[in-house]
Amino acid sequence: MKITSDYSISRQNYAAPSFKRNWSEHISWGVNYLKKEGKADFKMFSFPDAKNVFVEIANSASEKFGHIKDRTLKIIGVLGSAFTLKEILPEDEKTRIYPMENKGDGIFEAKGIQASENTPYRFIVVKDDTTVNVVKDPYTKQQPDINGWSEVYDPDNYKWVNTDWLTGKDSRRITRKPNEPFRGLENLIIEEINIPTVTKEGTFESAKKYIDKIAEKGIATAIEIMPVENTYSPQWGYDGVDKMAVNEKLGGPVQLKSLIDYAHGKGLNVIMDMVPNHIGPDGDSLTKAGPYESGAGEFGGELNYEGIDNRYVRDWMTNAALWWANEFKVDGIRFDMTKHCKSDYFLKQIVAEVNEHNPDVFLIAEDGRENFDKVTQYNRFEMTHDNELAMIDQGVDNIAQRRFNSDPGEIGFDSEWDFPFMHDIKDALLTPSPILLGKLDWKIKNSAYRVKYTMSHDEIGNEDGTRFIPKVITRELDLFLKVNGSSDAQKGQRAAKVSQALAELAVSEKLDEMSEEELTEYEKSIGLQEFIPKDKIQTAFEIAIAKQKLGLGTVFTIPGIKMFFQGDDEADLSNFKFFREFSDEKQQREQDYDYARRIIHQKGYDTLFAKDSSMLGRVPENPKYKKIKTSIQNFCSEMTKLLKEHPALRVGDIIETFQDNYNNVHTHHLKKDDEEFLILKNFGQAFHSDSYYYVNFPQGEWKEVLNSDSTKFGGGGFTNEDKVITKNNQGINMAPNSIVILKKI
């Protein structure tokens, strides 16, 4: 194998892969239900040196078994002397056991087995040392219990309604074909949603009510569903253990298909979030099924993408992505923390395979390597699909067998979450300074094709569980210095709790009615050690609202993909705390008195009960709060309207940026064809009354088309309406924490 001097594999003609990855191969794994025949084929990847693998099937779909290990002793007793029997029958006749044919390389198959939809099954793996493991199907597509038996899945369980969307006739569908009308990824405005918290019921079916609301507002063009990979309980979803099975507690696969179909009917693209970098710590039996994992990591089992016997492991996760694309008709896939996969070869494979088999489905990485360019760069070399797979196989083989590292070159995701931009816009909003403005300037100029956002679920939930508005209030009122705590972490948690309470007080009608004595008592009750008067609370809240619009406006006016978290387009104040429950948690809590206390010490709250405070719309809506929410929604709606009407805001070139460090104002200038826009963002605290002058103001006449301080957006009305602005006659009005958009006329 020739290796170039920069350790990348030389691009040459490679031999065909040693095994075929045609479509029939991709869909052959796990259980394939033959409905007309009343039979099923089973195929799994286990240990290459396994002595035998058996599939055990319930006699009927109505049989119910508990834990995956149920009935183990009886089976082991039979297997001990019957490894070569063609059929093994357990004593109680509740199930049938069939030997699987060893196809080599750890592949085992059993075909034409009598089965029906929802029939429980499991695999029995007899290792070379005669150790017997009972495991669920690594490819399970229907798994009611993460520790239970897999079930036969019927892919014909749903009839799709919105076929125009699926066939590309609906122009609202966004694909990887940028030359078609309204098809390019630059038209993506994504709302990230968590199914368990968008409605009280927390199911796919009930989420349709929220889809109605998204469609009615007309701001988002897509939803990104946080992972619904199978877990014990409704949760964030990043602890999934069954990568192709939908969490039954959310409604299962049929309800998910119905939700996606419904969203398509409302004109919304659907992005599925999946987790290729680890297996959740609860319900993982992969290590007993085969060499799927390379060891334990911080978040659970890490995957064997470049170790010994890795080939079918890479295909397994690749097939998971293809499963979401084909079975659930998603329009895009977002991959969680791809750098933690620790294999760029695997990432390149998953991109190559989805692009080959589902060329319209766009792929977004959350990589976290500070915008490592090759993540979103396409391979510049012409190469057939088979040759590309062969190159990947050979590169990984060099690593696994010869311990010789090489680099696969460009990976080719369509986009990635822009971590550096997010960090800098958040810092510029929370702690504005000229230094931060300079960092933000660089990010705005150099990453237009990446996904822009101010906060995702991580920045909300992994910090302290509060949204952007309470975070601003914490800074504006110096709450960290006004609470007690034994450590900085505890003080931060308590400051967040206080800021959340003050934000909810500010939108209630109680604050206006409180006497100073009542407010003093209230502040003591929530943990404040220093009195904060009513007017300061109200001012801090108003600043937070202004900054919310400034952050959203900045994101919306940078060409490329935009994203916001559920409810941020209407200033929702509900928490979004990390919440999950493990299958053995109740027992652990009963046996370990300090179990919950340790969680609370780490997070500031009990994760088992965090879901209730994270429900979208939890904060009661009264006339005062409704007016605030409507003003933010109007701002986002107006921004969206401008984006749809003016290509320069979606795909224009940033021809110039300017940072005014003295006033803490940043400007970027967009142009496409005959359209030009000037976006001025005041991160400072100064009012500019007919007085702001931009030294590099371009030639021509300009008019204001949007100002976040407009009264219709809940601002003070400090705008430039009916003014024609030129280089020699500027005198621009700008309120603190505002964004002004000028269009050349």
Strand stretches in 168-246, DSSP E: 189-193, 222-225, 229-230, 242-246
Please provide the size of the chain in residues: 745
C-alpha distances (whole Å) from 542 to each of 374, 426, 629, 684 are 42, 18, 13, 15
At residue 74, does pLDDT exceed 70? no
- What integer is the mean pLDDT of 138-147? 97
At residue 77, does pLDDT exceed 70? no
Q: Of 151, 185, 201, which closes a domain?
A: 151
pLDDT at residue 131, as a whole number: 84
Q: Of 81, 116, 151, which closes a domain?
A: 151
Answer whether residue 193 is part of any domain.
Answer: no
Question: DSSP alpha helices (H): ranges in 557-678?
Answer: 585-591, 595-603, 610-613, 623-645, 647-651
Structure-token pair, residue 379: 């391979």
Answer whether residue 279 is part of any domain.
Answer: no
At residue 95, does pLDDT exceed 80? yes
Q: Of 91, 124, 151, which closes a domain?
A: 151
pLDDT at residue 89, as a whole number: 57
pLDDT at residue 5, as a whole number: 28
Sorting pLDDT into bands at 50, 70 and 90, what band is 647?
very high
- What integer is the mean pLDDT of 196-203? 97
pLDDT in tens, 260-278: 999 999 999 999 999 999 9
Q: The domain containing residue 109 runs over which residues?
A: 23-151
- What integer is the mean pLDDT of 233-251? 97
Of 668, 459, 647, the residue nearest 564 (C-alpha): 459
* Strand bridging mode 132-135 / 95-99: unpaired
At residue 594, does pLDDT exceed 70? yes
- What integer is the mean pLDDT of 396-407? 87
Answer whether residue 333 is part of any domain.
Answer: no
pLDDT at residue 438, as a whole number: 86
- What integer is the mean pLDDT of 106-123? 96
Sorting pLDDT into bands at 50, 70 and 90, what band is 183?
low
Answer whether residue 514 is part of any domain.
Answer: no
- What integer is the mean pLDDT of 414-434? 91
Name every residue whose Cβ is closer than 8 Å to that of residue 50 and which is 6 or more positions away in sequence. Answer: 102, 106, 108, 125, 126, 127, 128, 290
- What integer is the mean pLDDT of 137-147? 97
At residue 3, does pLDDT exceed 50? no
CATH number of the domain that 730 lies in? 2.60.40.1180
pLDDT in tens, 148-160: 999 999 999 999 9
Task: Please tell me which residue, 432 or 471, carries the higher pLDDT value.
Answer: 471
Sorting pLDDT into bands at 50, 70 and 90, what band is 10?
very low
Looking at the structure of the chain, the number of domains it has is 2
- What integer is the mean pLDDT of 12-35? 77
Mean pLDDT of the chain: 91
Answer whether residue 360 is part of any domain.
Answer: no
List phi, psi (to 5°) of 481. Answer: -90, 0
- What integer is the mean pLDDT of 216-228? 98
Name every residue whose Cβ is closer than 8 Å to that of residue 641 and which is 6 or more positions away in sequence. Answer: none
pLDDT in tens, 652-679: 999 999 999 999 999 999 999 999 999 9
At residue 625, does pLDDT exceed 90? yes
pLDDT at residue 695, as a whole number: 85
Point out the least confidently predicted range of 78-87, 381-390, 411-420, 571-580.
78-87
Buried b vs exposed e over 527-536: b needs ≥16 C-beta within 10 Å? Answer: bbeeebeeee
At residue 112, does pLDDT exceed 50? yes
At residue 8, does pLDDT exceed 70? no
* Strand bridging mode 562-565 / 332-335: unpaired
At residue 20, does pLDDT exceed 70? no
Q: Which helix (H) or strand (E) holds 302?
A: strand 301-303
Sorting pLDDT into bands at 50, 70 and 90, what band is 501?
very high
Let me know: does 333 contact 302? Beta carbons within 8 Å. no
Share of the chain above pLDDT 90, in %: 77
Name every residue whose Cβ is closer than 8 Å to that of residue 155 and which is 6 or more positions away in sequence. Answer: 33, 327
pLDDT in tens, 365-383: 999 888 778 898 866 567 8
Residue whose structure tokens are 């003080």: 491
Strand stretches in 402-540, DSSP E: 415-416
- What integer is the mean pLDDT of 96-103? 93
- What integer is the mean pLDDT of 611-633? 96
Name every residue whose Cβ is closer than 8 Å to that of residue 644 and which is 6 or more positions away in sequence. Answer: none
Answer whether residue 116 is part of any domain.
Answer: yes
- What integer is the mean pLDDT of 330-348? 97
Answer whether residue 319 is part of any domain.
Answer: no
